[in-house]
Amino acid sequence: MNSLTDNIVHVSVVGADKMRVSWITESSAPAIVEYGTSPGVYSNSITGTTSSYKYLMYKSGEIHDVVIGPLNPNTTYYYRCSSDSTRKFILKTPPLQLPIKFAVVGDLGQTEWTKTTLQHIGQSNCDMLLLPGDLSYADFDQPLWDSFGRLVEPLASQRPWMVTQGNHEVEKIPVIHSKPFTAYNARWHMPFEESGSTSNLYYSFDVAGVHVIMLGSYTDFDPDSDQFKWLQADLGKINRGKTPWIVAIIHAPWYNTNSAHQGEPESDDMKQSMEELLYKARVDVVFAGHVHAYERFTRVYNGKADNCGPVHITIGDGGNREGLAREYMDPKSEISIFREASFGHGKLEMLNATHAVWTWNRNDDDVSVVADTVWFTSLSSDPACKL
């Protein structure tokens, strides 16, 4: 029997105790996930929805979307999709409380470099992956979304992948396909509804003791926009007793000393619009992609070092086909602490309510090498940063 599922399974968190399972079948199949805590024993079954999309001459397979749960934290579940007995999957739910370990990587693509990055992430045994945009680099060629799904499935079916969009997800063609983000929104449904957002392009969620905010660099962000008003409201609801850490994810970096992607409105105008909101909320870290290199800034606000501002980190070095952005501006700015044009990925481990460790691993001759390490203290625990 041929497998029903076309090797494009990925999972994401929904609310406090549920997970979304997304998968694609070439032909009609039931949108059902069977799951349990013992191998091969599927004591629970939940039915969801099925959709598809068209893009020029391309028609997607059947995209299935099932939210399973309630699930126990920090627990291994065995599951299968569309009652397909030939393909069995395992996922692990995130912990309820700290510590928690995130893998962070942007601008992935699907090259040999990407494969190396994914292999290294797989060895790190993280609880969740955060991706600051530019996933497949399909760039209008829709079957590349399918091949990307197959490439990441071994990891994305085991741990939640939480993503936001980059410029390569827009895929808008004037007149002939004027709607942006068609494939991205159809294939990567994130839990925006649960955080009061009206768009899959920006949302937030709590996991363990961390509030994660995914922002959209390629949708409206001015003070009159839905996104700005949503962010304002979202930040106002945060309980630092419950989530002592706040992490924000964008695609186009607000701070960047690389020669690439200077002067873009998605960076400069979004920073001008939203930086004060994040600063006043005492966001701890802001991750970005877009620039195909690694750079870590000190805590910063309004262009200057500020002990109560977030650390900005560019991690757009997942391995995409466009290669590395090798040229940096000199002399190096004082607020830029570490920068290097190498492919790799990062790990952010929140150990408790006050301390976290960040490591950047470069892909050096196909071996994962720790090249940058720094300890963070949460701004919520710093008396000097109390508002």
**Which active-site residues does the annotation give?**
261
Which residues touch 316 (CB under 8 Å, ≥6 apart)? 106, 107, 132, 134, 253, 288, 289, 290, 291, 292, 293, 325
CA-to-CA separations, 310 to 154, 302, 378, in angstroms, rounded: 33, 11, 10
On whether the CB atoms of residues 246 and 261 are closer than 8 A, the answer is no
Between CA 164 and CA 2 the distance in angstroms is 33
Which two structure tokens, joined as six digits, stand for 349? 């481990």
Intra-chain end-to-end CA distance of the chain, in Å: 62
Pair of tokens at residue 357: 């460790």
CA angle, corner 268, sides to 263 and 273, nearest 5?
A: 165
- Kindly state the DSSP code that residue 240 receives in the 8-state scheme: T
Residues with Cβ < 8 Å from 170, sequence gap 6 or more? 180, 181, 218
Q: What's the CA angle centered on 202, arms 72 and 304, to 5 degrees? A: 110
C-alpha distances out from residue 280 to 17, 242, 275, 283, Å: 30, 18, 9, 8
Of 217, 231, 8, 234, the residue nearest 132 (C-alpha): 217
Q: How many residues does the chain have?
A: 387
Instruction: Indicate the pairing of strand 49-51 with strand 54-55.
Output: unpaired
Q: Which residue has the tokens 């919520």?
A: 380
CA separation for the pair 191, 193 (Å, rounded): 6
Per DSSP bridges, beta strands 128-131 and 161-163 are parallel
Instruction: Count CB atoms within 10 A of the CB of residue 377.
Output: 13
